[in-house]
Structure 1
Amino acid sequence: MVAEKMVRKAIMNIKPYVPGKPIEEVKRELGLDKVIKLASNENPLGTSPTAVEKMQERLERAHIYPDGNAYSLRAKLSSKLEVAQDQLIFGNGSDELLAYLGQTFIKSDDEVIMAETTFSEYEFTTNLMGGNLIKVPLKDYKHDLEEMVAAITEQTKMIFVCNPNNPTGTIVTSKEVEEFLEQVPDDVVVVFDEAYYEYVTNDDYPETIDYLSDYDNLIILRTFSKAYGLSGLRIGYGISNPELIDYLKRVRQPFNVNEIAQVGAYSSLDDKKHLEKTLEYNNQGKEYLYQQFEELGLDYIPTESNFIIVDVEESNDQIFDKLLKEGVIIRSLSSFGYQTKIRVTVGLPEENKAFIEALKKVL
C-alpha cells in the first residue's frame, strides 16, 4: 500500500489502545436498558460534588484559554505533597505525560525495561519513539525488580514500574524499591506509575517522593482520574527534580490541561470527605468480592487498588461476552496473555452484587 510507504517504521509495531466498552455502546448493541461498567477502574461514586459545583461556575469562562502553568493547582498540590512547585508537571491525563517521557528521553534503539504484564501505554510510548522493549515476567504477579536490574545494559534508557500494578493490583515494597534504586545506574530514568496510589492500604508501600532527594533519575506519575473521579476530564501529574521537569516542559503542548480540569482537580483536593468515602466503599467492596469469590471457589489476587483479578476457570472472552448480555461490563485479560482471568473494578455495593449475581448465572 502507498500509505505504508509514507509512515514512520516505528509506528508499524503499535497496536491501538482498546478501552473498556462504553455503557451507551453496549446498550445500543444489545438493546439493554440498564448496564453497569466495572471495566475501567473509574470511581463509582463519581466526581466530588464540591468539584462539580466549582467546575459549573467556571464554564462561563470557557472562551478564555486556561492557565498554561496551572498556577493555582500547582501551588495547592506542592503544599499537599511538600514538594517545590518546579518539581511538578501536569498533563492531559498520565497518558500524555508518558508520551512526554518518550519524546524527551527515548531515541531509536534505546532499551526500555517494563514488566511483561503491566499497563500497555509504556509499550506504546517506547514503540512510538522507535525504542526496544525489554519485558521482564512478573514473579507471583508482582514486578520482579531483581530481574529488571539484571536486564539493564549500556543501551538501557528507562525503566517503568507500575505500583500498584495494572492489571494485577500488586505492589512492590519499600525495601524492594530501595534495593532496586541503589542498583540502577544514575543515567537510567526510573518511572514509578502510581495511578492507584490513594487506594493502597499496605504499610510496606513505598513513599517514593521521599527518594527524590537521593535519586535524580526518578520520576513519579499520579492522576486525578481514579480516586478523585475525574477520568472524563483527563488530568494527571508528574513529580521529579526541577531539572528533569524542565526538560519535560520543553515538549509540553501549550494549554495542554483545560481550565475545567484544573478547577476540578483543585476542588477535589479540598473535598477530603469524598475521598475518604471513596476509599471506604472500595475497601468494603473488596472484602465483599473476596468473600463471594471464595464461596464460588474462584482464585483471585488480593489487590491494593480498586480492581481485582479473578480466575473464572473458563475462557475469559466467552465470560466477557456472557456478562455483557447480562448488562455487566468487565475486562477480559486475554490481551495480557491470561486465558481464564478477568479484571473487575470494585463498584458500589449494588453494582458488586449485580456483578456477582450475573457471574453466578454465566459460570
Structure 2
Amino acid sequence: MYYVNPNIKDVVRIFPPQDRYGYLRLDMNENPEGLPQDFVDSVLKEFTPSFLATYPEPDIFMQKYADFVHVAPENICLTNGSDAAIRYTFEVFAAPGSSVVTVTPSFEMYGVNCNMLGLVHKPVPYSKDFTISVADIISAIDETTDIVALLNPNNPIGPNFTEAQARQVIDRANEVGAIVIFDEAYHYFCKDTFLLLINEYDNVIIFRTFSKLFSLAACRLGMVISNETIIEYLRKARPSFEVNALALKFAERILDHPAIFDELLSTFEAGKKHLIDSLEKHGYEYYPQSGNFIFIKPHIDANLLATNLMKEKILVKTYGNDLLKNYIRINIGAPKIMEQFMQALIKADTKEANQE
C-alpha cells in the first residue's frame, strides 16, 4: 500500500458550493457586481497570444503595489490568494507539533492548515455578545506557540482590534518567539491597519488580498507584507511562478486607475447605508461588522430562510455552530443589490413562504 501523509488523510474538508453563476451571490463576501464592464473590457484587450504564452513577470506590479502601500518591493511576497499565504507562512514558521493561536469562529483555512501540517490549533472563542477577550488570546500563547493569527477585522464576526491590543499580543508572542499574522483581507472597508508595525517588530506579518474590495476573487492574488528577512524566507517556499499573469495585469491596471478604487468604496458605503436603513425600517436585529458583510437575525429558521431565498436566486451564508446558527450573513453590494435582497428577504422571511 502506498504511503499517505496521515495529516492529509485525516483532514476533513468542506469545499465551497458550485454552480453559483446566475445567482445573486451574497454568501462568500464577494463583490456581487464586480469591476466596471468597460474597465474589464479594456484590460482583456491586453491579453494577446504572445502575452498568454509568456511566463508571468511580477516585478512591474510589485513596484506599483509597493508604492501604493508605501513599502519597498522587498517587503512584499505575492501569493496565489490568502490561502497560499497561510500555507507558506505555516510551513516556514511553525515547527511540527507546535501550536497556532487563532480566534473562533474565523476563516476556516487557518484550522484546516493546522490539521494538514500537523500543528496544534488553539482557537479562542468569541462570547455570545460577539466580543473577544484579548486577555484570553494572550493567555493561550505559550512556549509551544509558533504562530498567532488574527484577522483584523475578523471574518465572520468581531470588531477590530485596537493598536494597543495588537501590541499586547505582539509583545507576548515575542516572549515565546512566535510570529504574529494580521490578516487584513477586509482592511479597506474599515481603514484600520497594523501595517506600520512591521517597521517596529521583527515578528509581524500582514496579509492583504485583491479578492474583496478590488473584486478579483477569480484571479487569486494575495500579498504578504513584512520585514525583508521574513519575506525572503517566504519567497523561498513558493513555486517559481506563484501568481498568474492575468491576475497581475488586472491588479496592475486597477492601481493605474485610482478612480476605480474610489468608485468601489463609494458604492460599498452607499449599499451598506441603504441596507442598514432598510433593516431598521423593517425591525430586523442585525450586527454590522467592519468588513463587507453583515449578520441578520431572521424571523424564521435561518436555514429555512436560506432555502427560501435560493428559490429567488439569492445565496446567503448560514452557520451550524451555536453562536451563529440563528443568523444569516450577507456581503454588501450596491444600493440596488441591497434593495433586491431586502425585497426578497421580506417575502421569504415568513412561515407562509416556508409552506409554499
TM-score, length-scaled by structure 2: 0.91
* Contact 1:158–1:189 (CA under 8 A) maintained in structure 2: yes
3-state DSSP of counterpart to 2:135:
helix
1:319 aligns with 2:305: yes
3-state DSSP of counterpart to 1:324:
helix
Q: Mapping of 1:71-220 within 5 angstroms?
A: 71-139=59-127, 140-168=129-157, 170-185=159-174, 187-200=177-190, 205=192, 207-220=193-206
Which residue matches 1:31? none
3-state DSSP of counterpart to 2:337:
helix
Which residue matches 2:240? 254
The residue type equivalent to 1:84 in the other structure is A
Unpaired stretches in structure 1, ≥5 consecutive residues: 28-34
**Structure 1 Cα separation of the partners of residues 95 and 186 of structure 2:** 29
Greater mean alpha carbon deviation, residues 190-199 or residues 177-186 = 177-186
**Structure 2 Cα separation of the partners of residues 190 and 77 of structure 1:** 23
After superposition, give the CA deviation of every residue in 1:88-133 in whole Å (9 maximum; x if it has no partner): 0001111111111121122331100111111001111111100011
Question: CA 1:52 to 1:155, structure 2 compared with 1: closer, same or farther past 3 Å?
Answer: farther
1:7 aligns with 2:7: no
3-state DSSP of counterpart to 2:105:
coil
1:19 aligns with 2:5: no
The residue type equivalent to 1:54 in the other structure is V
3-state DSSP of counterpart to 1:237:
strand
3-state DSSP of counterpart to 1:191:
strand
**Structure 2 Cα separation of the partners of residues 38 and 21 of structure 1:** 14
* Contact 2:267–2:334 (CA under 8 A) maintained in structure 1: yes
* Contact 2:272–2:335 (CA under 8 A) maintained in structure 1: no
* Contact 2:285–2:296 (CA under 8 A) maintained in structure 1: yes
Question: CA 1:359 to 1:259, structure 2 compared with 1: closer, same or farther past 3 Å?
Answer: same
The residue type equivalent to 2:5 in the other structure is R
The residue type equivalent to 1:316 in the other structure is A
Greater mean alpha carbon deviation, residues 115-124 or residues 178-187 = 178-187
TM-score, length-scaled by structure 1: 0.89
The residue type equivalent to 1:15 in the other structure is V
What fraction of aligned residue pairs are identical, expressed as a percent? 28
Q: Mapping of 1:225-244 within 5 angstroms?
A: 225-244=211-230
3-state DSSP of counterpart to 2:174:
coil
* Contact 2:141–2:172 (CA under 8 A) maintained in structure 1: no
Cα offset for 1:36? 1.2
3-state DSSP of counterpart to 1:172:
coil
The residue type equivalent to 1:7 in the other structure is V
**Structure 2 Cα separation of the partners of residues 20 and 172 of structure 1:** 31
* Contact 1:320–1:329 (CA under 8 A) maintained in structure 2: yes
Question: CA 1:214 to 1:198, structure 2 compared with 1: closer, same or farther past 3 Å?
Answer: same
Greater mean alpha carbon deviation, residues 46-55 or residues 235-244 = 46-55
* Contact 1:41–1:345 (CA under 8 A) maintained in structure 2: yes
The residue type equivalent to 1:185 in the other structure is N
The counterpart of 1:344, out of the listed 325, 330, 338, is 330
Cα offset for 1:315? 2.5
Question: CA 1:144 to 1:52, structure 2 compared with 1: closer, same or farther past 3 Å?
Answer: farther
Greater mean alpha carbon deviation, residues 240-249 or residues 10-19 = 10-19
Question: CA 1:43 to 1:297, structure 2 compared with 1: closer, same or farther past 3 Å?
Answer: same
Question: CA 1:20 to 1:39, structure 2 compared with 1: closer, same or farther past 3 Å?
Answer: farther
* Contact 1:117–1:336 (CA under 8 A) maintained in structure 2: no
Greater mean alpha carbon deviation, residues 293-302 or residues 189-198 = 293-302
